[in-house]
Amino acid sequence: MSTLPYWHVDAFADRPFTGNQAAVMPLSGWLPDATLQRIAEENNFAETAFVVRDDGGASDWELRWFTPTSEVALCGHATLAAGHVLLGREKKDSVSFRTRKAGILEVRGIDQGYELALPITTVKEAEYPALLSALHVNAPLFESVSGAEQTTIVLLENEAAVRALNPDMRALGKIDRMVICTAPGEETDIVSRVFVPAWGVPEDSVTGSAHAALAPFWAERLGRDTISAFQASTRGGLLQCRMDGERVWLGGPCVTVVEGNFHLPE
């Protein structure tokens, strides 16, 4: 029996039981993919972030993310959680991560917690009747044309419409993409909910990668580069979004809920 260090972090949260849960697990080297997937399944969070020292020198760490069912190309909240753990351990101001499909990511410590840089996702208007039918809405829809993940934005009239959504998860689970439903917010600039049943996460709590698409989408419509956002899941989470060329910085705090060891059979 071997042991692996383990942290359970609530990201984009200033107290436990809010924000989005992630497991963070630094490794001495990469385990087989099947083992990483089994660990993520056991953790049963939206994401488990695995990090290994980057001996190539391109960044501080290599980073991969797994849902309970699959590896994903980009995850914001688990990257923020990994930054929280590693900056706390190493007493540094910033940390960089080399990823397999999303390039180099960076997390910085700031007065209000942390700030995460993600590559922006751009979208264009499209049609997807089956997706709108699964959401039970009739609304403008936008598909990603750049970015690490297949992403769809559905633009609703107001926050009440976002909160009232009750998707057909079985139908939505047949659509292999992240579905972001958004509208102008009542207390924040924007509000959203994010559904990813095809990737093992029916509704995500607070989704950093979704805001890599939402920030440029709303910056163009609002005519400014800084945006306050609220993801209206059951747990809920606030994000501060700042456009910076081809990147968006997402700001928010993190809270460590559990620190310990994961026992792995030999």
What CATH number corresponds to the domain at position 40? Answer: 3.10.310.10
CB-count burial class (<10 Å; 0-12, 13-18, 19+) for 241? buried
Q: Are residues 65 and 96 in the same domain?
A: yes
Q: Are residues 112 and 167 in the same domain?
A: no
Q: Are residues 145 and 238 in the same domain?
A: yes
Residue 194: which residues within 8 A CB-CB, separation 6 or more?
A: 178, 179, 180, 181, 203, 204, 207, 210, 231, 233
Residue 94 corresponds to which amino acid? S
Q: Are residues 135 and 206 in the same domain?
A: yes
Q: Are residues 205 and 233 in the same domain?
A: yes
Per-residue pLDDT for 148 more than 90?
A: no
For the residues of 120-166, what is the DSSP string, one character each? Answer: ---EEEE--HHHHHHHT----EEEESSSSS-EEEEE-SSHHHHHT--
The whole-number pLDDT of residue 60 equals: 97
Q: Are residues 192 and 230 in the same domain?
A: yes
Q: Is 47 a catalytic residue?
A: yes
Per-residue pLDDT for 172 more than 90?
A: yes
CA-CA distance, 154 to 158, in Å (whole number)?
A: 12
Q: How confident is the model at residue 1 (pLDDT cuts 50, 70, 90)?
A: confident
Q: Are residues 260 and 227 in the same domain?
A: no
Average pLDDT, the chain: 95
Q: What is the pLDDT of residues 208-266, one digit of tens each?
A: 999 999 999 999 999 999 999 999 999 999 999 999 999 999 999 999 999 999 999 87
Backbone angles phi, psi at 113, to 5 degrees: 130, -105
β-strand pairing of 151-155 with 178-184? parallel
Q: Are residues 158 and 236 in the same domain?
A: yes
How large is the average pLDDT for residues 136-159?
Answer: 93
Per-residue pLDDT for 53 more than 80?
A: yes
Please give the tally of structural domains in the chain.
Answer: 2
Q: Are residues 127 and 236 in the same domain?
A: yes
Write out the residue range of the structural domain in which residue 25 sits.
Answer: 2-119+251-264
Q: Are residues 140 and 98 in the same domain?
A: no
Q: Are residues 135 and 171 in the same domain?
A: yes
- DSSP single-letter state for residue 31: P
Please identify which of the residues 42, 47, 246, 266 carries the catalytic annotation: 47
Q: Are residues 69 and 182 in the same domain?
A: no
The whole-number pLDDT of residue 112 equals: 85
